[in-house]
């Protein structure tokens, strides 16, 4: 039962992504919470977060029944199998599996190239078309800080915790109402001044608060083990 719930929530975590203003996501060359910033003004409004969440939910809700659950996962697996089964005979030959694998690799390569271009653009802060030693050092430092911030728990732990909280009725599925409520709750926690928009300063403050909370949990675990 717990494994089934974990699989369901793992799928839903992708949907909650940027709309929750916390989890990893990407849209074009933007990753993380800024994927919801559609007007590129550096501020995430509740309308933007909600719209981005609706887009992600729709993509994950494979059967369009308004719920994210095991049926959606099964439909996505079936769709992947059908796409790989080029002759439509219900079986995958070695050649079809190889072709599907090559297609996935090509898609990953394309996404990797897009990420590399986006990283270069972030490093090239003066838009000179090249990266200076100072820009490179600043970028490496920022990357190190981001990695340090992710070491507070197991990969995906925050997402899974968030999704389990979203499943308020415990039915092992995330309804659109639960999904939207989770987005709003997360947004309100980060929107410290209640203005209906999240600024860079508020995002930084929320990130620092999460970092401190992780440090406290690690310290508490250490105390209990002694």
What are the angstrom distances between the C-alpha of 24 and each of 15, 50, 126? 10, 16, 27
- Indicate if the pLDDT at residue 22 is higher than 60: no
Q: Give DSSP secondary structure letters for 82-121.
A: HHH-TT-SSS--HHHHHHHHHHHHHHHHHHHHHHHHHHHH
Average pLDDT taken over every residue of the chain:
78
Query: Which pLDDT belongs to residue 11?
Result: 47
pLDDT in tens, 108-122: 898 888 888 888 888
pLDDT tens readout for residues 118-171: 888 888 888 888 888 888 888 888 777 666 655 544 444 555 566 677 888 888
Residues 6+ apart with CB under 8 A from 98: none
- Is the pLDDT score of 195 beyond 70? yes
- Residue 198 backbone zone (phi > 0: left; psi -120 to 50: alpha; other: beta): beta
Is residue 149 a contact partner of residue 211, using CB atoms and an 8 Å limit? yes
If one compares 165 and 82, the residue with the highest pLDDT of the two is 82
Say how far apart CA 60 and CA 12 lie, in whole Å. Answer: 7
For residue 89, is pLDDT > 60? yes
pLDDT, mean of residues 70-80: 86
């Amino acid at each position: 039962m717990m494994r089934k719930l974990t699989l369901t929530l793992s799928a839903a975590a992708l949907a909650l992504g940027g709309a929750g203003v916390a989890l990893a996501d990407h849209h074009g060359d933007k990753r993380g919470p800024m994927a919801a910033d559609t007007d590129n003004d550096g501020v995430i409004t509740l309308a933007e977060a909600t719209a981005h969440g609706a887009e992600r939910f729709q993509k994950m809700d494979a059967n369009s029944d308004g719920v994210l659950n095991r049926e959606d996962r099964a439909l996505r697996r079936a769709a992947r199998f059908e796409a790989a089964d080029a002759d439509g005979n219900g079986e995958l030959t070695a050649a079809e599996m190889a072709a599907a694998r090559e297609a996935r690799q090509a898609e990953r390569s394309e996404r990797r190239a897009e990420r590399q271009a986006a990283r270069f653009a972030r490093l090239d802060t003066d838009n000179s078309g090249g990266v200076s030693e100072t820009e490179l050092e600043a970028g490496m430092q920022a990357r190190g800080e981001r990695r340090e911030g992710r070491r507070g728990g197991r990969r995906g732990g925050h997402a899974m915790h968030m999704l389990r909280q979203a499943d308020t009725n415990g039915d092992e599925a995330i309804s659109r109402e639960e999904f939207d409520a989770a987005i709003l709750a997360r947004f309100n926690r980060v929107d410290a001044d209640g203005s209906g928009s999240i600024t860079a300063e508020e995002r930084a403050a929320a990130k620092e608060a999460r970092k401190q909370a992780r440090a406290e949990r690690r310290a508490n675990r250490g105390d209990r083990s002694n």
